[in-house]
Structure formats: C-alpha cells, structure tokens
Amino acid sequence: MTRIIAGPNAVEEALKEGRSHVEVVYVLSGLSQKTAARIFALGERRRINVESVPLSRLDAIAGDTRHQGVIAIAGEFTYTPLETILCAGVAATTSVIAVLDQVQDPGNLGAIVRTARCLDATGVVITKDRSCAMTPGAVRASAGASELLPVSRVGNLATAMGQIRDAGFAIFGAAADADVSVDELEWPSRVAVVLGNEGKGLRRLTVQNCDRLFAIPMPGGFESLNVSASAAIALFQVARYHRRTAQ
C-alpha cells in the first residue's frame, strides 16, 4: 500500500534518506525556485521521477492532506523493531528514547519526533492501540524527522517497557502530580522518557512500570502543557544533563 509524504521538508528528507521507497514526486508549478531545484536535483540523483503540476492536480492527488506545494508517493512507513532501537542505545555512551502512551494527535506526534531528532534521541516508541500512527499529517509535522529517526510501534506498552528496562534503560514518566521537578533530576546515561495521552496522561499500568515520575512546574491557573511541549522540555533537560556530565 502506498502513502503520501507531504511538505517540502518531509519530501526532501525522504529523498535523501532512501528508506521510504519514493515512487514519484509532484511539485507545484510556481513553487519557490530554490526549493523546486533542490527537489528536482534529489529526484535526479535517486532516479525518481519529479513532475511539475498545477495546483488543481496537486490538490486532487493529495486529497485531504495539506501538501504545501510538494507531495511524494511512497511505500508504507517503515517502523523500526524496538530491539533495533535498544541495540543502538546500548551501543551509545548516552541514549534517550521517547515513549508515547496513546498520543493521538498527528501534529503532536510529528512535533515530538521532530524534537527527538533535534535533541539526538535514539528513537521514539508509539503504541498501536488508540494511538496515532505515522500518518501523512504526522510525517508533515515532523518536518522530515520521521524519515531519519527510528520509530517503533508496539502492541503492548507494558511489555515494551519491560524490554526497555531489561536493556539497561531507566524509565522516567511525566506526571502532573509528581513531587520531583523535571529540572531537579539526575538523568541516567540511558533513559526512556514516557509521555501520556493529551487528555488523560499516563495510564495506571504505565505509571506502575515507571522507575520514577517527574513533573513540569506550572504557574497558577495552568494545569498542564501540550504533550509535544512537555516532550520538548523533558528531552531538552535530558540532553543538557548528558552534555554537562560528559564534560
């Protein structure tokens, strides 16, 4: 089954990376000359056909997907086995994995993948049940990061958390009622950061499988942050701590 990769950044990264099995690229006639030139050059390098088409044709191909002037038709999104991500993490001096407990909004998922990539995470783990998959919207929101960062999709999060722990990772979960602030923690060299659903947060069993919980302090009148913002804060704290302790 084919899928649509939408947006200039996502399409460029898919063409650079190569694992997305891009079949054809459609570029809006009149798109920024620099952007179009990069995409045509990448297509030529990969021997992939790039077509310049009018807006009506691009809209018809994209359907409900917001395309920003560029779409690619590609093979199904390639999820990475959890074991592969864990092996990469164990081989590294420091490693952080973002684990998402039923995050459902494609914009949030894509933003978290993008943040994780920018902060040098080893990978992202999502669940199959009641969670957003790497849809065209999530891929677009990741601005190409989903074509570069391994994403694993697991059937049972509790089992996956056990595998993560067995591989030598500590598991820290974000919870609004935790008594330790995110900026007060000493982050282990290998750690999984678990973030919950947009409305319900972490499920009870997920909380029970965490080694430690942390909170992001909020001023009066605000109960919580958007999950992608929470992920950015937590992953930045981990990256900063790892850099500081490595000096």
Does residue 187 carry a pLDDT above 60? yes
Q: What is the mean pLDDT of the chain?
A: 91
Residues 6+ apart with CB under 8 A from 242: 94, 96, 187, 189
Span 30-36, mean pLDDT?
A: 90
Of 70, 66, 12, residue with least CA distance to 38: 12
Dihedral sign, CA of 221, 223, 226, 232?
positive
Ordered by where they begin, the domains of the chain are: 3-74 (3.30.1330.30), 82-246 (3.40.1280.10)
Does residue 19 carry a pLDDT above 80? no
| Maximum separation of any 2 CA atoms in the chain, in Å | 56
Q: Tell me, what's the pLDDT at 217?
A: 85
Residues 6+ apart with CB under 8 A from 87: none
Of 244, 222, 86, 105, residue with least CA distance to 162: 86
Residue 227, token pair as written in the block = 């999950």
Does residue 64 carry a pLDDT above 90? no
pLDDT in tens, 138-148: 988 888 888 88
Alpha helices of the chain — where are they, by DSSP H?
A: 8-17, 33-46, 55-62, 82-91, 106-118, 136-141, 157-166, 204-208, 227-246
Asked if residue 153 lies in contact with residue 127, where contact means CB atoms within 8 angstroms, the answer is yes
Q: In this predicted structure, which of 58-72, 101-115, 195-209 has the lowest mean pLDDT?
A: 58-72
Task: Quickly count: other Cβ atoms within 10 Å of residue 4's Cβ.
Answer: 22
pLDDT-derived band at 221, boundaries 50, 70, 90: low
Phi/psi of residue 28, each to 5°?
A: -65, 130
Report pTM.
0.85
Does residue 228 carry a pLDDT above 80? yes
Q: Tell me, what's the pLDDT at 225?
A: 79
